[in-house]
């Protein structure tokens, strides 16, 4: 997939984020910036949309699609749902399921997602602790790299939701607004991806072999 040219406004926002990190600070205000809506649209249009389209194509898992390989899905969580386009698409794929998107309450992105939730019939929550029903599928596109302690967060998600399946597209080794250069206090950016997948296996999940391009997203199921 050819990466599209990023607008100058997003380059400036990225610079703001990394300047703060270099000073030992975390500039959470980037998520409230109007320009970040543009970043989220860029990520949806460039990545998440393609990932969701790819899981419904046949021939990806033993002549079937990832979508059909999962069988009946009654609960779905879209982690870090942004403007809610990916959550709306998940609701279209699973119209009978309860679909949740997590988001920063009160941010411009959450306001857009909340409007879409009324139209498409999904729910917006601030964190997974607000979900009290069993969850079959967790979708995480370009999400965990925005979490300073992704291993701890992954364990919290598994403990609270115990999903049957994960569909994940991480980009730990890329530079973007919201990505950290050091994770879990001491793990450098270049090493966190391998450690993350190891943690997921230790939590009882196995990676399913697929024919998805460049192995993105990865498909995991509970052993």
Rounded to two decimals, the pTM is: 0.95
Structural domains in the chain plus CATH codes: 8-55+72-222 (3.40.50.150)
Q: What is the mean pLDDT of residues 184-206?
A: 97
| pLDDT tens figures, 10-63 | 899 999 999 999 999 999 999 999 999 999 999 999 999 999 999 999 999 988
**Cβ neighbours of 115 (radius 10 Å):** 13
Nearest to 185 by CA among 46, 44, 10, 24: 24
Nearest to 168 by CA among 126, 207, 222, 129: 207
The per-residue pLDDT for 5 is 67
**Residue 1 pLDDT more than 50?**
no
| pLDDT tens figures, 120-177 | 999 999 999 999 999 999 999 999 999 999 999 999 999 999 999 999 999 999 999 9
What does the alpha-carbon distance between residue 22 and residue 150 come to, in Å, rounded to a whole number?
20
């Amino acid at each position: 997939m050819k990466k599209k040219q990023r607008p100058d406004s997003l380059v400036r926002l990225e610079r703001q984020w990394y300047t703060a990190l270099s000073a030992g600070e975390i500039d959470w205000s980037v998520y409230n910036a109007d320009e970040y809506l543009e970043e989220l649209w860029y990520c949806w249009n460039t990545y998440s949309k393609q990932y969701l389209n790819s899981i419904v194509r046949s021939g990806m898992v033993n002549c079937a699609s990832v979508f059909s390989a999962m069988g009946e899905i009654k609960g779905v969580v879209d982690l870090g749902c942004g403007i809610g386009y990916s959550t709306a698409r998940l609701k279209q794929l699973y119209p009978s399921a309860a679909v949740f998107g997590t988001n920063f309450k009160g941010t411009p992105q959450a306001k857009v997602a909340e409007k879409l939730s009324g139209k498409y019939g999904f729910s917006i929550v601030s964190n997974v602790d607000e979900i009290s029903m069993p969850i079959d599928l967790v979708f995480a596109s370009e999400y965990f790299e925005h979490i300073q302690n992704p291993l701890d967060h992954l364990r919290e998600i598994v403990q609270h939701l115990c999903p049957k399946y994960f569909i994940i597209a991480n980009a730990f080794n890329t530079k973007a607004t919201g990505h950290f250069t050091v994770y879990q206090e001491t793990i450098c950016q270049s090493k966190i991806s391998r450690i993350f997948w190891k943690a997921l296996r230790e939590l009882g999940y196995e990676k399913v072999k697929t024919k998805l391009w460049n192995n993105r997203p990865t498909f995991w199921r509970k052993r």
